[in-house]
């Protein structure tokens, strides 16, 4: 192998070609209006059925395996080599953050089935302490936890230092186990950011939900907590795209204080998205329809990271020299990115339309409902165009 | 995120003591006609001109001159080249992608857009 072949993981994706961006931008508008008006005149996503796996013999060994790997990775992050041969950064930023999305979209809420914190909770018999109340702060703890993770991933100085990652993981586990000891095991489903994240992506799973996508119609309308969670999820990914640009680097170099500017930028983007979701939606509770948009954009943004750095992390974990690498064709990557963003947009708009139809009184004509949705649809087109634009200018 | 993992990957390669890119020439006295020539400077930790993007045709020759007010280590991502600035390098851009050129630890100088 040549030396050059090792360098692939260090490139960023090329900017999207202009022709693809323009076609995709036009397609979003067509899908949004014609698709909703012509194809979808009555709600189709309810009633929803969640299908659970029939046999669960595999769950116990899986939980023990995931717990073992997690404990090893955390201990190795804290005590192991503080250099690039430590797989901690790959485990947290690539496998967990990015890999959980395709896994959950495929099989449903995967992290709920294997969450090592749940396994620890059971092994330590923490339920003896629990006095289960309805924990109303759950969704907000999940938002703060996700924001903390996003800050670590995108802004914190030394964020790939294994010691920093290990300390974050220990701190996260202690806080979550503490809350769970107080509120019972159901806490993880509400307050553990990664479980909520996997749950939301799992709403898109075709084998979990019948009819397909009906998972987006349950828990509806969503509260402010879920809107904030989605705003942090999508907003932090948008911030990552924007802050990788030379323009942002130049701005930071001119002013100094990279960490403060990054923090302010991250909070501003997430806050703006939240404001958009809550203000533009008006009476319509369409928060859930942002799930496919966030999932599609996150996958598009991190596609090559997952394909290239994911396997490299496994080699690091196995103490192998990461010799193996793959070379995704830049044009193919662009096409896949656009397809993911468009698919997310189409599903999002149709879900919003479906939810609005289901909420409308039966006597209301479909066109009037469509008119009610207009601000939401325009907001989603703006979100999708922003995503395409960021992948175009990079 | 991508950029940070990239730094990690680069360090790893250095750790494995791989040889530098074979076709890189570490001086720029003879420049082939038709090559892309870029000159940038680092002054008080800032890129001058401001960080920008340079389009390079695939398999084209790149001549990259970095001036600076003190000795810095410059890293060309993807091509895995590290050298001390002030300094200059000439190499063939035979890898498509968008590559950061950074002064350590993380001052972005420019991006090479090879396609």
Please check the confidence at residue A2 and state whether its pLDDT lies above 60.
no
Contact flag B97-A85 (C-beta cutoff 8 Å): no
Query: What is the model's pLDDT at position A350?
Result: 87
**Separation of alpha carbons A41 and A358, rounded Å:** 10
Report chain B residues whose CB lies below 8 A from the CB of A309: 5, 9
Q: Of A236 and A361, which is predicted with more confidence?
A: A236
Task: Give pTM, 2 decimals.
Answer: 0.87
- Relative to beta strand B60-68, strand B87-93 is antiparallel
- Relative to beta strand B36-43, strand B60-68 is parallel
pLDDT digits 0-9 by tens, A313-347 = 888 888 877 666 666 788 888 889 989 998 998 89
Average pLDDT over residues A54-64: 90
Q: Which of B2, B4, B104 to mutate to test the interface with A (most CBs of A within 10 A)?
A: B2
Check CB contact of B12 with chain A, cutoff 8 Å. yes
Contact flag B4-A12 (C-beta cutoff 8 Å): no
Q: Which of B9, B41, B48 to mutate to test the interface with A (most CBs of A within 10 A)?
A: B9
How sure is the predictor about A1, in pLDDT bands with cuts at 50, 70 and 90? very low
Q: Closest residue of A to B20, CA-based? A: A3
Q: How do the domains of chain A map onto residue ranges?
A: 11-392
Predicted-assembly ipTM surpassing the 0.85 threshold: no
Q: Which residues, in sequence order, are CB contacts of A358 under 8 Å at separation 6+?
A: A43, A45, A46, A217
Query: What is the model's pLDDT at position B30?
Result: 67
């Amino acid at each position: 192998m040549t030396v050059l072949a090792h360098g692939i993981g260090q490139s960023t994706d090329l900017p999207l070609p202009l022709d693809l961006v323009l076609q995709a931008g036009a397609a979003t508008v067509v899908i949004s209006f014609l698709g909703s008006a012509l194809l979808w005149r009555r709600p189709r996503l309810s009633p929803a059925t969640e299908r659970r796996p029939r046999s669960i013999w595999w769950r116990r060994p899986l939980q023990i395996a995931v717990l073992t790997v997690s404990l090893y990775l955390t201990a190795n992050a804290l005590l192991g080599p503080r250099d690039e041969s430590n797989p901690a950064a790959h485990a947290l930023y690539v496998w967990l953050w990015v890999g959980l999305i395709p896994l959950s979209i495929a099989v449903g809420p995967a992290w709920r089935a294997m969450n090592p914190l749940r396994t620890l909770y059971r092994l330590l018999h923490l339920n003896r302490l629990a006095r289960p109340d309805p924990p109303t702060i759950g969704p907000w703890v999940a938002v703060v936890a996700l924001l903390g993770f996003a800050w670590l991933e995108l802004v914190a100085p030394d964020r790939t230092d294994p010691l920093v990652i290990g300390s974050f993981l220990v701190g996260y586990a202690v806080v979550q186990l503490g809350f769970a000891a107080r509120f019972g095991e159901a806490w993880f489903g509400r307050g553990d950011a990664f479980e909520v994240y996997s749950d939301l992506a799992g709403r898109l799973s075709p084998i979990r939900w019948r009819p397909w996508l009906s998972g987006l119609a349950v828990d509806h309308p969503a509260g402010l907590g879920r809107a904030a969670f989605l705003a942090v999820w999508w907003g932090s990914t948008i911030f990552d795209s924007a802050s990788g640009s030379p323009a942002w680097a130049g701005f930071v170099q001119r002013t100094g204080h990279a960490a403060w500017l990054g923090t302010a930028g991250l909070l501003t983007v997430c806050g703006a998205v939240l404001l958009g979701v809550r203000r533009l939606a008006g009476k319509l509770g369409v928060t859930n329809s942002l799930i496919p948009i966030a999932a599609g954009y996150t996958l598009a943004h991190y596609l090559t990271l997952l394909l290239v750095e994911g396997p490299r992390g496994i080699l690091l974990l196995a103490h192998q020299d990461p010799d193996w690498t793959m070379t995704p064709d830049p044009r193919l990557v662009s096409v896949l990115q656009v397809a993911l963003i468009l698919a997310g947009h189409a599903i999002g708009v149709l879900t919003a339309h479906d939810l609005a139809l289901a909420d409308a009184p039966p006597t209301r004509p479909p066109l009037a409902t469509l008119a009610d949705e207009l601000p939401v649809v325009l907001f989603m087109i703006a979100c999708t165009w922003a995503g395409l634009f960021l992948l175009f200018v990079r | 995120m991508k950029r940070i993992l990239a730094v990690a990957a680069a360090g790893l390669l250095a750790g494995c003591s791989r040889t530098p890119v074979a076709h890189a020439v570490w001086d720029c006295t003879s420049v082939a006609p038709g090559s892309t020539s870029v000159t940038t400077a680092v002054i008080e930790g800032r890129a001058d001109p401001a960080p920008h993007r340079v389009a390079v045709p695939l398999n084209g020759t790149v001549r990259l001159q970095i001036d600076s007010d003190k000795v810095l280590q410059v890293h060309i991502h993807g091509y895995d080249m590290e050298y001390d600035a002030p300094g200059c390098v000439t190499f063939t851009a035979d890898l498509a992608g968008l590559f950061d050129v950074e002064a350590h630890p993380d001052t972005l100088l420019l991006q090479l857009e090879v396609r």
